[in-house]
A = this chain, B = another copy of it.
Amino acid sequence: VNPKVAVVMGSKSDLPKMKRAMEILDMFEVEYEARILSAHRTPDLLIDYAKGLAKRGVEVVIAGAGMAAHLPGAIAANCLLPVIGVPISHGPLSGLDSLLSMVQMPSGIPVGTVGIDNSANAAILAIEILALKDERVRERLERYREEEKRRVSLESIDGDDQG
């Protein structure tokens, strides 16, 4: 089966923060591939990879990177697919650097950025996009949201004063 989502990260050290995206894609039974590719250290590989994505059937890209986080922007510049950026809180500036490097893209080449280290939200956003075409994904998304509601509404505070 062809992957629908590409999960790309700038270095292996980003994996612990990007894992949650993969777990959620697994949970939704969405095919994906995961790659380590660097906008700066392997620019040619990255560009070839980005240019080949659409032909191979990939529909959404999730890209996580820290510091001067150019990875999602470099992919966005080399394909026509929606690119979702995950700023990683690597280094002393706690991800403020990667957030700004990702979200402040020039007009014409967007990166849809989610919260710092929040690869879960990147996966859900990818799933919302895929659900526009795929009824089964849409149904799973609906169920997921219902279960989340139930889970939160069952949380309770032991011993609170409820009059």
Which residue numbers of A lie inside 8 Å of B, CB to CB?
1-3, 7, 10-12, 15, 20, 22, 25-26, 31-45, 47, 59, 67-68, 70, 73-74, 76-78, 80-82, 84, 89, 91-118, 120-122, 124-125, 128-129, 131-133, 138, 141-142, 144-145, 148-149, 152-153, 155-157, 160-163
Contact = CB atoms under 8 A, between A and B. Distances in A.
A138 to B, nearest CB: 7
Contacts of A145: 80, 108
Contacts of A162: 3, 33-34
Copies of this chain, whole number: 8
Contact of A110 (B38, B128, B132, B133): B128
B68 A101 contact: yes
Given A92-B117, A125-B82, A129-B132, A163 B106 contact: no
B41 A156 contact: no
